[in-house]
Amino acid sequence: MPFLFESVLVTGSSRGFGFEMVRQLANLSYPPKYIFATCRSPGGETAKELKNFASDHSNVTIISLDTSSKESIQKSALLVKEKLGNDGLDLVINNAGIKTESPSFLDETEEDMMRVFKTNVVGPFQVIQAYHSLSATAGQKKGFAAILNFSSILGPCEKSNFGGLYPYVISKAGMNRMTKGLSFELIRDNIITMCICPCWVKTAMGGLDKGILTPQESVGYIMKIIQSMDKSKNGAFYNYTGDINPY
């Protein structure tokens, strides 16, 4: 069965979850025509594996995108538009994110809080703004386009049972509220907006020797959720299992 979306953009695809997403998309039997694998340093050491992979997959285009820089986000959108021509962008995956850790709430700094908030919330919001016209074109031509934001079950308050990781958990709570709000506005342009928790995954962020799932397993689950997207899913906060999480 062909993949639901012909064009997909992934932020933070140099490693971890984002790279695995690009890898599994490109290796589908009927892969998307365009996979925009964005990362903040395409020429850097961290993007080496992605570069090697892209050299064997002509539908993977690496594009520079730093979610903490509005200028970089806007530049990336121009490059993607150039490549897509009159086609819109079917799916935007806001995956890039950072986490900081401090011994206690007294050690949390303004600098860390602002950096995490900028990268994890303001940046993804600006990505959605910068790509809006491309998403809306796809929404109009194909019935619907989609935005998938990477959140975490650590964000919502309802099931929270621990303190700590303040910059990160506050940023994910913000991302959830942003997703819910945008789901009401963007649906007018046939764009559905959802967020998802990929589980505790063995990456640099999750802990390579910790975590419950490997990136391969987690992305495997999420690919099924992506493939089942339709307008009825607009505004949902998904768990990797396909269940709906509380906001």
Residues touching ligand NAP: how many (CB under 6 A)?
A: 31
Comparing CB distances to ligand NAP, the nearer of 97 and 139 is 97
Residue 43 CB burial class (10 angstroms; 0-12, 13-18, ≥19): exposed
Q: Is there a contact between 44 and 17 (Cβ–Cβ < 8 Å)?
A: no
Contacts 24+ apart (CB under 8 A), 125-128: 125/178, 126/67, 126/70, 126/73, 127/11, 127/65, 127/67, 127/73, 127/92, 127/94, 128/92, 128/94, 128/182, 128/186, 128/193
4 vs 205 by CB, closer to ligand NAP: 205
Choice from 28, 78, 114, 204 touching ligand NAP (CB under 6 A)? 204
* Longest distance between any two alpha carbons in the chain, whole Å: 53
Q: Which is nearer to ligand NAP, 3 or 240 (CB)?
A: 240
The residue type of 226 is I
Contacts to ligand NAP from residues 143-182, by CB under 6 A = 150, 152
98 near ligand NAP, judged by CB under 6 A: yes
Q: Which of 177, 187, 211, 217 binds ligand NAP (CB under 6 A)?
A: 211
In the list 183, 203, 234, 245, the residue contacting ligand NAP (rule: CB under 6 A) is 203
2-41 positions binding ligand NAP, by CB under 6 A: 11-12, 14-18, 39-41
| Token representation of residue 29 | 């039997």
Shortest distance, position 216 Cβ to ligand NAP, whole Å: 12
Among 24, 33, 46, 59, binds ligand NAP (CB under 6 A): 46
Which of 144, 166 has the CB closer to ligand NAP?
166
Q: Does 54 bind ligand NAP (CB under 6 A)?
A: no
Asked if residue 32 lies in contact with residue 24, where contact means CB atoms within 8 angstroms, the answer is no
Q: Which is nearer to ligand NAP, 46 or 74 (CB)?
A: 46
* Cα 240 to chain centroid, rounded: 14
The angle subtended at Cα 126 by Cα 207 and Cα 189, nearest 5°, is: 115
Question: Radius of gyration over alpha carbons of the chain, in Å?
Answer: 17
Nearest alpha-carbon partner for 234 in 107, 154, 144, 117: 144
Helix (H) or strand (E) holding 93: strand 91-94
Cβ proximity to ligand NAP: between 33 and 118 the closer is 118
Instruction: Select from 23-31, 157-165, 203-211, 219-227 the region that touches ligand NAP (CB under 6 A).
Output: 203-211
Stretch that binds ligand NAP, among 60-68, 127-135, 187-195, 226-234 (CB under 6 A): 60-68
- List residues near ligand NAP by CB under 6 A: 11-12, 14-18, 39-41, 46, 65-68, 95-98, 119, 150, 152, 197-198, 200-201, 203-206, 211
